[in-house]
Amino acid sequence: MSRVAIVTGGTRGIGAAVSIALKDAGYTVAANYGGNEERARKFTEETGIPAYKFDVSNYDACVAGVAKITEELGPVEVLVNNAGITRDGTMHRMDAGNWQAVIDTNLGSCFNMSRSVIEGMRERKFGRIVNIGSINGQAGQYGQVNYAAAKSGIHGFTKALAQEGAAQGITVNAVAPGYIDTDMVAAVPEQVLEKIIARIPVGRLGKAEEIARTVLFLVADEAGFVTGSTLSVNGGQHMY
Ligand code: NDP
C-alpha cells in the first residue's frame, strides 16, 4: 500500500528533501509550491514527483488543492506542513504586512492544510501530520518577532491537535530545525552566518536531508505512539 503524502513547500530546500525521502520510502508524494515555477518544473523533471501550485496562506486555495490531489492521487494520509517564509525586521521597523504575511504563511497554513485533510483522516482512522517549526520559535530571535511567534504557535498547535487525533489513529508532531543549508539561510549575511555557526556545537549547518530523515521517522506507520512531540534537530545548538 502506497500512502499519499502532501509536502507543502515541497519543491525546494527542506521540503524537496522531505518529498524525495518519502518517495524513496514508497509514498505517493504531492509536492506543493507557492510561485517559483522554474524550481518546481526542474524538481518534477528530476524526481518524477508532481508539483501542485497553491498558496498555503489561503484557506480556499488549500481546500481546492487538497481536493485536486485527492482526486488525482487518492486520499491524503500524510501531511507535512513545511512551507514557510521570513520577513525579518526589528519591531520598530516591521510593518503590519510583514507581520501578517509570516503569520498567515507559516502558522495559518497549518490550520488551512490540516483542516482540509483532517476529516478524511478521522474517517479512515489513520493520519500523520508533521509541522516544521524552528529553533527560533523555541528560543526567539532578534529581528524575527513575526517568525518566532508563528513558529512558536506551531508548537502549541501541534500539541492541541495531537490530543484531538490521539484516539483516531492520527499523530501530530513537530520538527524544530536549527540552521539548515537552504535558500532561506543563504539570505543571511555571511558575517552573521559565521557567528551562528560558531554557536552550533556540531560546527556546521544542518542538511535538508537530515530534517527529511526525522520526518520519515515521524510519519512511519510504526511511529503511532509518538504524538504531540517536538523533535529538535539543531546540531546541539539548544538542548531542551
Ligand atoms: P525555502 O525558502 O528554501 O523554501 C520554502 C518553500 O516554501 C518553497 O518551496 C516555497 O515555494 C514554499 N512557500 C513559501 N510560501 C508559500 C506559500 N504561500 N504557498 C505555498 N508554498 C509556499 O525554505 P527552507 O527549506 O529553508 O524552509 C522550509 C521550512 O523549514 C520553513 O517552514 C522554514 O521556516 C523552516 N525552517 C528552516 C530553517 C533553515 O535553516 N533553513 C530553520 C528552521 C526552520 P516556492 O518555491 O514556490 O517559493
Q: What is the pLDDT of residue 47?
A: 98
Q: What is the pLDDT of residue 185?
A: 87
Q: Is 171 left (phi over 0), alpha (psi -120 to 50) or beta?
A: beta
Ligand 1 atom 39: the closest Cα is on which residue? 180
Q: Give CA–CA dist 212/22, Å, rounded.
A: 8
Q: What is the pLDDT of residue 1?
A: 63
Give the pLDDT band of residue 238 (cuts 50, 70, 90).
confident
**Is 179 a residue of the active site?**
no
User: Does position 240 have pLDDT exceeding 60, yes or no?
Assistant: no
Give 4-233's CATH code, choosing from 1.10.10.10, 3.40.50.150, 3.30.450.270, 3.40.50.720. 3.40.50.720
Q: Is the CB of 131 under 6 A from ligand 1?
A: no
In terms of Cα–Cα distance, which of 43, 120, 17, 2 is closest to 52?
A: 43
Distance 63 CA to ligand 1 centre (A): 20
For 174, phi then psi, to 5°, come to -125, 150
Task: Kindly state the average pLDDT of the residues 166-172.
Answer: 98
Distance 167 CA to ligand 1 centre (A): 31
Distance 236 CA to ligand 1 centre (A): 22
Q: Give CA–CA dist 200/185, Å, rounded.
A: 14
Closest ligand 1 atom, residue 106 Cα: 32
- The rounded mean pLDDT for the chain is 97
pLDDT tens for 193-205 read 999 999 999 999 9
Closest ligand 1 atom, residue 57 Cα: 18
Q: Considering 33, 147, 179, 240, which one is annotated as catalytic? A: 147
Give the pLDDT band of residue 186 (cuts 50, 70, 90).
confident
Distance 137 CA to ligand 1 centre (A): 15
Domain spans in the chain, listed from the N-terminal domain onward: 4-233
pLDDT tens for 134-158 read 999 999 999 999 999 999 999 999 9
How many percent of the chain have pLDDT more than 90? 94
pLDDT tens for 84-121 read 999 999 999 999 999 999 999 999 999 999 999 999 99
For residues 68 and 119, the answer to whether their CB atoms sit within 8 Å is no
Task: Kindly state the average pLDDT of the residues 165-170.
Answer: 98
Cell numbers for 105, please give them: 504563511
pLDDT tens for 2-60 read 999 999 999 999 999 999 999 999 999 999 999 999 999 999 999 999 999 999 999 99
pTM score, two decimals? 0.98
Q: Is the CB of 22 under 6 A from ligand 1?
A: no
Give the pLDDT band of residue 61 (cuts 50, 70, 90).
very high
Task: Kindly state the average pLDDT of the residues 158-162.
Answer: 98
Q: Is the CB of 61 under 6 A from ligand 1?
A: no
Ligand 1 atom 3: the closest Cα is on which residue? 13
Q: Is the CB of 11 under 6 A from ligand 1?
A: yes
Which helix (H) or strand (E) segment is 109 a member of?
helix 109-124
Ligand 1 atom 8: the closest Cα is on which residue? 9
